[in-house]
Homo-oligomer: A and B are copies of this chain.
Amino acid sequence: MLPTPTKYTLVAGAGEGQTPLNAFDRALLESGAGNVNLIRVSSILPPGARYVETLPLPPGALVPVAYGAIKSSTPGDRIAAAVAVGIPEQGFGVIMEYSGYNYREEAERIIRQMVEEAFAMRGMEIKTYMVKAVEHRVQKAGAAFAGLLMWY
């Protein structure tokens, strides 16, 4: 099997570029996840995974990540991305992602409800809650990214 991640951190970033993909690249760089190969996953924090402030990711490494992201080429758009994780007393955590045309505070409010709903669905209780969010006002082409990076 593929090895289950044992560490994680939350990151977020936003930025501008000449194209939406370059803006996304900038957002990744701002978040600290710009020089790796992100593999998008949905979206469970493995039991026992340990939070770390920063992950020393080797360039080009294959890095599992649950993320929310949004790109826009409409000047003036306000965009936001958020990622959050709820962790119970014991066992796995549940990650939720959000992106939309919104303020950061609103993104954080919505994603909190999403994590709460995910826990209610599973009959679980949140012990620890973590969130990372970012907002951005588009100038030419902008992107916002928030992700929970998993590592070993």
| Chain A residues proximal to chain B, CB less than 8 Å | 1-5, 17-19, 21-22, 24-26, 28-29, 34-47, 49, 58-62, 64, 66, 91-92, 94, 96-98, 110, 113-114, 117-118, 121-122, 150-152
Contacts and interface: CB of A to CB of B under 8 A. Distances in A.
Q: How many copies does the complex hold?
A: 3
A28 B42 contact: yes
Contacts of A98: 21
A140 to B, nearest CB: 12
A-B pairs, 3 with minimum CB distance: A46-B60, A37-B41, A59-B92
B61 A26 contact: no
Contacts of A5: 60, 62
Given A46-B60, A152-B1, A29 B122 contact: yes
Given A26-B121, A121-B22, A4 B60 contact: yes
